[in-house]
Amino acid sequence: MANERLRDALLRNGLTYEQVAKATGVDQKTVERWITKGRAPYPRHRNTIASMVKETETYLWPDAVAPERKAEITESEVVKLYPHRNSIPADLWDHLITNATRHVEVLVHAGIFLVERPTFMRDLANKAANGARIRLIFGDPASREVAKRSDEEQLGKGTLGSRIRNALAFYRPLVGVDGVEMRFHKTTLYNSIFRFDDEMVVNTHVYGFQAAHAPALHLRRLAAGDLFETYSESFEHVWNLSKPATF
């Protein structure tokens, strides 16, 4: 079976078989077989290609890394576990937001704590202007899912929907900005996801607790890891189910 993920990654990065062959020290026919026949390269070649296309080995070759090895690497992807999201230091958020240059991806219901940062909107606009891709997904304030979550978190009827609308007011300056995309989702939100290039904060959701009081993981992407990739793929699933946000 052809490796469509690898084929797509090469196309997205403008890489030819010849360039990959030169970087890995193999002939072009071998590179072609990696793609058209789905054959897995040696580990050293996988690492080189993953670096070239800015993807993880587990994304490009899901079955190439032994489960035991994946488990070991996954443990190293966890930088720190916080008992509550609101215990994450402000300087960590500063570090993540300031240093991101390629991707900023946010999946939340409202995420209103982000807009409490006075420069957050300006930071996103500047990053988009410099080539970063900004993707923001908010809960649909009119959806049944948001109404149900408002009840589950004991916020009161309609409270979460109002919070989302309040947060969206801050994002209006980003409407129409090249490189910034905003959508509404109606999914059951198991985790809020905040990705900044190869680092990520995952805020788990616990029944009966507001998100700020639930645990959070700080993750750093590793080439053959599986944890970061799992949450990244989850973001993609929600993104593909979402609709453009209306203001």
Q: What is the pLDDT of residues 179-193, one digit of tens each?
A: 999 999 999 999 999
Radius of gyration for the chain, computed over Cα atoms and rounded to the nearest angstrom: 20
Q: 30 with 110, same domain?
A: no
DSSP conformation letters of 1-14: ---HHHHHHHHHTT
Q: What is the pLDDT of residues 89-129, one digit of tens each?
A: 999 999 999 999 999 999 999 999 999 888 999 999 999 99
What's the number of CA atoms in the CB half-sphere (13 Å) around residue 144? 0
CATH number at residue 12: 1.10.260.40
DSSP conformation letters of 164-181: HHHHHHHHGGGTT-TTEE
Q: 133 with 40, same domain?
A: no
Q: 100 with 167, same domain?
A: yes
Q: 225 with 112, same domain?
A: yes
Q: 170 with 192, same domain?
A: yes
Note whether residue 42 is domain-resident. Answer: yes
Q: 44 with 119, same domain?
A: no
Q: What is the pLDDT of residues 37-76, one digit of tens each?
A: 888 888 889 889 988 988 888 788 887 777 777 667 778 8
User: Predicted confidence band at 217 (pLDDT cuts at 50, 70, 90)?
Assistant: very high
CA distance 207 to 215: 12
User: Predicted confidence band at 213 (pLDDT cuts at 50, 70, 90)?
Assistant: very high
Q: 51 with 79, same domain?
A: no
Predicted local distance difference test score (pLDDT) of residue 245: 94
Domain boundary among 63, 83, 105: 63
Q: Which domain holds residue 202?
A: 74-244
Quote the tokens at residue 187. 């999914």
Closest C-alpha among 11, 37, 58, 36 to residue 227: 58
Percent of the chain at pLDDT exceeding 70: 99
* Cα dihedral 245/196/191/139 (nearest 10): -10
Note whether residue 180 is domain-resident. Answer: yes
